[in-house]
Structure 1
Amino acid sequence: MEIREGDEERERIQSVKGAINFYGEKPGLKKHPIEISEKKSPSKTKELHFAQKDINQFSKSWKTSESIRTQAESELVKARQTVKNLTLQIEESNLKTNAQRRELETLKKSDKSQENSALDDGKSDSACKYAEAQEELQSAKQELCKLKLEMAHAMEMKAEANKETDAAISRIRSCSRTIETLRKEIEEANEEQVLVELARIEAVREFGAIKAQREAESAEFVNKMEKVKRRMKDVTREIDRTKEVEITLGITNSEVSVLQNELMLVKAMEIRSDAAKASGEEASHRVEDKSTTLSLLQSVTEEMEASKKELARIKRGGFKLMASMDIIREECKSVSEETARLRKAERETDATIQNLNTKLLRAKNRLEAASLAEEKAASIVLNLSTTFQQLKSESDTARRESGLINEEMVRITEEKQKNESEIKLTEEKLQSAVQELELVKSSEAMALEKLKILAEKTVIARASKSQHSSSITISKFEYEYLMGRAKRAEAVAEKKVVAAEAWIEAVKVGEKEMELKREIAEREIRELSLMEDQELYRTVKSLRESLDSETEIHSARQLQQEKLAEILKSSQLEEALPSKATEDLANTTPTTALISKAVMEYGTATPSRRARGRRVPGSPGGRHLIHSGSITLRKRRKVVPNLVNKLFSSSNNKNLMNDDEQL
């Protein structure tokens, strides 16, 4: 086994030497390019990892850019909606301004047409319309403020959208730069992959060559080991022979020593025999013995010399064998050392080969990962290119939309300026209308004063005439005018009563509490009607008693005029506020009833007076009421026209308001 191991070590040594002679350098020195590539490979893997991280970051940034794009689109949609709302509001404001213009025109026309016919109607209508116009102007101003705020908000949103688009464009540019860097890194990785593959091919070739060299060296080593084994066998044979010769030499030496001892004994015996015997026979026998002994001695000496020569020769051969054995031992030691060294080298080469194999496997895995990463990067690059094109198209559309929005904003600002100018013109027109209304009011006040003076004059004239006669003569036109006005006033009053009753019925169906209030209001109305009837009865009684004296008649007229003026004021207030709650409605019903009663009493003289006479049959002045036509005519001349004008002015005002609302 030791001889085989030595042979294997020699063969390995020879194979290593052959490898050194074949390549001109040691195998360990050829590790450097592979190790350099291996050193480069982790740096490439790191770069690939960084590239993957960059790709992930880029994908995240792309997702964020998509979210920002969606937000920008939503904000653009909101901005469009706000623009649409602003346009609608501007159109509404334009419609309102046009309606205000129409109302102003109608006001002017109504003022011009009603300057001579109904001065009181013009006052109330102008005041109401002026208040409505002021309210509408205030609402229009508020809407303009709101529009300004919304425009500012829309401009801010537009600026934010532009900023976001710029940020998205910058991000797209940075992403394109990162894509270019990734492409360059991928190209470098491909080049490195090619280099690694070439190094792998070279390593495979070297590995095959090394294997072939090792096989050749192992064959040579086996042959040499067989030769050494043969020599060792020959040497062992020679050693065995020398050992046999040494044994024979020892035996011969022992025999020689025995023979020498025998010779010494023989010599001693001869000396003794020479001393004891001195005879001839004995001498002859002694001579024969001496001759035999001498021959024996000569033969022994010759054998001794020959054996000595053989011993010397054998000793020389033994020394030679010892020297050869020493040489062989030294060669065995050197061979064992070389085999150990070769085993170490072989182990090192095996370890390096295993490392190379593992590194090659790792390189293959890295190359596969790099190829996958390259494919992913290529797909990502394609996706990014498509997304970049989409973002470009979207940015172009966003720019176009922003341009359209700018145009719309400019148009809106122009319309706003036009509306502001129109509003200013309307304000100026309203101010002029207000001034005209003030002038109309002043003219109406003058006309009222003149009418009062004329009424007083007519009253005085008719009073002076009534002193001489119990009746007053009036024109047929005045009588028909008063009767027609009274009928119209009755119809309007009946319509108002019917409307109030319908309203009360509707409120009854909806709310029970309002029914209670209505009942309470009806009770109050009844009480007020009774009180008014009593007051009227008292006034009639006082008038009837004052027929005897003219001074009492004049005082009764003044009292009655004051009461009728109060009633008319209350009726004006109630008609000016027709849309109040049911309590106000309930409060207005007695006034309308009073007005209708007053019209019935003072517009149609004889039937109402007869009814009053019938209601109070026991009164002492009942028969005087039938003949009091002149007094009633005087009262109608003063009161009934104003009453009818007020009633019809309120109805006309309502009709005008309804027409304006319809417009």
Structure 2
Amino acid sequence: MDRRRIGSVKAAVNMYGEIIPDGNSSFSKTQEDFPEKPSSRVKELHVARRGMDRYRESRKTAQSKAMAESELFASRETIKDPASMGDVVYLENKALVVNDRSVESYEYEEVMRELELVKQELSKLKLDMASVTEEKARAKKEFEDSSSRMRSNGASVEALRGQIEAANEEHVLVELAQIEALKEAGEIEAQRVKEAGEFSFWMEETKKKRKDVIEEIDRSKELETKLGATLSDISLLQEEMKQVKGLDNVVPRGGDDDLNQQDDSFHSFERVEPSVSLESIKKELEAAKEELDSIKDEGFQFMSSMDTIRNELKHVKEETSELKKTEEQADSKVKNLNSKLARASSKLEAVTAAEEKAKSIEANLSLTLEQSRAEAEASKKENMLITEDIATIKEEIQKTESEIDVTEERLLAAMQELEAVKSSEALALEKLRSLIETTMQSRASASDHSSTITVSRFEYDYLTGHAIGAEEIADKKVAAAQAWIEALKASEREILMRTELAHRELRELRVQEEHDVSVSAKKNVDSPNVQLHLIRVRSTKSSGNWTPSRRTKLRKSATTATTESGSTSFIIKKKRKSMPNLTKFFNGKKVGKDE
């Protein structure tokens, strides 16, 4: 509404061709009556010009009146002179007297016409005096209005100063809130860095524990292979003991003639040799049992260590979930801080806009105050000029009225009046010129000022640079925080993918090992070489070629066989695997013999 009110004034042009300066929209209520002032000044200038024209006309009439009065005086003198000459000249100049009377009557008519004109001018002067009094009353009223406006503008200036102080306080509060938000953002970033370090440390620890678990699994596999070898050796030893016992039972019963004919030394050697082999076998069995017990103990220890490792893995998973929760909380805090920063920046922009608006309002108020003061001074000067003009006009009216009654005195008064009119005209011209110059200067100063604030280039560059720098810093901080969050998320995803790949590889290895074990067990069960291998063992027993080298070969073959078909589930399925390992051993022995 205020801009629509002032929109009609923006394109207004005064009589001097100058554009009337636009006011601020916030002061349209206090400046509603200000556009009436240029029109009143134009009226005053028109009145002044009209007064000058009247002065010139009155001067012309005074001059013409003086000329008429001088002619009248001359005619009266000429009339008085023939009357005093006597009858002699009267008779001689009778015709001339008639002519003079006709001329006198004509001149008298001219003088009467001039007097009528003077009376008309007097009536015009009275009307002008009434208009001048009206203009004086109007000027007084405008002066009172301008003074009341000055007082109201002073009150509005005080109110605006209070608003500016409140805006400054709000600006300070917003800056403090921004500083606190920046501190909180720094603390959150430091906390996030700390949590990221702790998370990386925990991930390193989990990697180390995982490596330890893999090493323990490899060790358990080696122990399983060793256990399989020992079990195969134990089974072989048990079979050999059975064979030896069978041989002991067979040798005394076979009392043939051929055996009776053999040498006593040979019989004694045969009986001593099985007893020695039995003792050695028993010792080896005891050693194998002890080794088996120790291996079982180690297996139980490994089982307990696996349980502890599983518990640690569960603990690590719980810690990773807690770290994820803390990271989500940190993300929510960062989002809240970003929203707080956005709100603080919007408040700061609003406060700066309000401050700029208040500054523009204050500048406009100062301009309006200066204009009102200049107008008050101009109105005072105009009032003084009008009072002087009224006084001079009154004097002129009195002089003209006295001149109508007494012609001679009026002639002298007319001369004095002419001098006074000239001097007053000069004064009026000078004052009018000074008034025009003051009005032109006030118009020029008013046209120089506008509704916008003129700021220096340095201040403008400083403010724009500061705002752009603050925006760039805020964008960089937000981008860094987002990049940090993305990096943490990427590292988390990479860690999860690695753990999933490791679990998948472990599952695939277990499935492959179980598949290989089942295939090898089926092959070993279906092989027809078990009986042949037993016969070969008997023959080797009878020949007495049992040596430690054979034992190492047996162990090597057993270890190779178990290495091919070993798995983590060996401890659970060791009773099932004992027989396939034995068949593997026999197969390996057969291959060695064939070679």
Report the TM-score when normalising by structure 2: 0.45
Report the TM-score when normalising by structure 1: 0.42
Tell me which structure has the larger Cα radius of gyration.
Answer: 1
